[in-house]
Amino acid sequence: MESPEIPLTFEILQPKIRTESSSPAVFFLHGYGANELDLMSLSCYFPSDTFIISLRAPFPLVSGHCWYPINFSAIGGVPEQPDLDFLNQSMGLIKQSRDSLINLYNLDHTRIGLLGFSQGTILSLSLLCTSPSDYSWCIGFSGYLPNHFFDSTSSELLNKPIFISAGIEDELIPLDRVETTKNKLIELGCNVTFSLHSGGHYIEENTILELQTWMSKYVL
């Protein structure tokens, strides 16, 4: 969906039953080379009163889109830390889209969450650490917090619920990078739940089961 008021293309699932009061929402941020439809199968795990809004990354590729370009020529094929200029540009577009969608659909700005996969997780954690008052919680699969934001000192990160997962055999996001992120977020005062699975760069079934338990505490 495109809107002149909203800088990023998006897909939205509205609650079947609406009330006059404002509604909670979750923003999905897809991975490199995907689009706004990629994570929509996860919408079934959220409460029926929640708006599901999936944003399309701004930079087109031969196939799909990305939040920032990746140099895959690094040793071992592991992507380098994201370019801060591109990262900030995407974060700004997400914030503009978030603010416009809150006004357009009467969303409850105190109950907005983030869910990302891979590059989308990198954006989600970056947004959370730079604008913690904008988001109530964060879910991140197979991603990490860039070094650029390790120095966040906001008191609003204290006890912020975060669920992150990683695969031991992930060929794109090294496990130690995710574990470093987990430790840093704990150091910043966040309430971190870490899910580790034996697979690679994907969302594993047991991770979803753990996520549902986590959501029953912090989202439902």
User: Could you tell me the two tokens for 174?
Assistant: 């090294």
Asked if residue 2 is part of any domain, the answer here is no
**CATH code of 197's domain:** 3.40.50.1820
Question: What's the rounded Cα separation, in Å, for the pair 105 and 26?
Answer: 13
Asked if residue 186 is part of any domain, the answer here is yes
The yes-or-no verdict on residue 184 having pLDDT over 90 is: yes
Q: Burial, 89: exposed, middle or buried (Cβ in 10 Å; 0-12, 13-18, 19+)?
A: middle
Domain count, the chain: 1
Determine the pLDDT at residue 4. 65
Determine the pLDDT at residue 64. 97
Determine the pLDDT at residue 66. 97
Asked if residue 51 is part of any domain, the answer here is yes
3-state secondary structure 92-122: HHHHHHHHHHHHHHCEEEEEEEEEEECHHHH
Asked if residue 69 is part of any domain, the answer here is yes
Determine the pLDDT at residue 17. 74
The yes-or-no verdict on residue 129 having pLDDT over 90 is: yes
pLDDT band at 27 (very low <50, low <70, confident <90, very high): very high
pLDDT band at 80 (very low <50, low <70, confident <90, very high): confident
Residue numbers of the domain that contains 132: 10-218
Share of the chain above pLDDT 90, in %: 83
The yes-or-no verdict on residue 100 having pLDDT over 60 is: yes
pTM: 0.95
Determine the pLDDT at residue 151. 84
The yes-or-no verdict on residue 43 having pLDDT over 70 is: yes
What is the C-alpha R_g of the chain? Answer: 16
**Averaged confidence pLDDT in the chain:** 93
Determine the pLDDT at residue 79. 66
Contact assessment for residue 107 and residue 21, using Cβ atoms and an 8 Å cutoff = no
Determine the pLDDT at residue 37. 97
pLDDT band at 73 (very low <50, low <70, confident <90, very high): low
Asked if residue 3 is part of any domain, the answer here is no
The yes-or-no verdict on residue 76 having pLDDT over 60 is: no
The yes-or-no verdict on residue 195 having pLDDT over 80 is: yes
Asked if residue 1 is part of any domain, the answer here is no
How many other C-beta atoms can be found within 10 angstroms of the C-beta atom of residue 86?
Answer: 16
Strands 65-66 and 107-117, bridge-based pairing: unpaired
Closest CA to 141 of 201, 67, 100, 199: 201
Q: What is the mean pLDDT of residues 32-55?
A: 96
Q: What is the mean pLDDT of residues 14-19?
A: 80
- Identify the three-state secondary structure at position 147: helix
Asked if residue 5 is part of any domain, the answer here is no
Asked if residue 199 is part of any domain, the answer here is yes
Contact assessment for residue 129 and residue 149, using Cβ atoms and an 8 Å cutoff = yes
